[in-house]
Amino acid sequence: MRITKYRTELDTNRHNVLVKESAVNYACESLDSPSAIVNMFNNVFMLNRMAEEYVYMTAFSTAFQVLGIFEISHGSIRASLISPREIFIRLLLSGAASFVICHNHPSGVCTPSEEDIGMTKRLERCADLMGVQFTDHIIIGNSYYSFKENKLL
């Protein structure tokens, strides 16, 4: 599968457009489970080794094919800001039907913080309003925590 990372830029009219940053071939048929998503982020983006928090979003088609990967935020050792607006701009520009949020905890502890839980609930409400399926929120550390697997999403 081809994993393509995009960023957004402003065009000459000051409108958001997608710009391809990089692409790699990844030896995996699909990202249809939390463990497959975690493996991809650890192998391609080394997310489990990052010293600060990074938040990524994976956009999927209706057939659950990867449309693109987006770095949403890069924060400090303890926090990273997530704005639903920034996520949904990227989702709509890519034509996504569903998405997964994935971020790391540099401490290695995968237990979600109160902020993680609150943001997940907020994104879930926004996704319902926008008609886009919020499939999972995954935290990566020494192992991983899936909100979907733990029935919090």
d(CA 3, CA 66): 7
Report the largest interatomic distance among the alpha carbons of the chain, rounded to a whole angstrom.
45
Q: What is the pTM of this model?
A: 0.92
Look up residue 150 and give its amino acid: N
Residues 100 and 137: beta-carbon distance below 8 Å: yes
| Planar angle of CA 59, 43, 63, nearest 5 degrees | 30
**What are the tens digits of pLDDT across the range 1-50?**
889 999 999 999 999 999 999 999 998 878 989 999 999 999 999 999 99
Token pair recorded at residue 64: 């659950």
Token pair recorded at residue 83: 């704005």
List domains and CATH numbers for the chain. 31-146 (3.40.140.10)
**What are the tens digits of pLDDT across the range 131-149?**
999 999 999 999 999 999 9
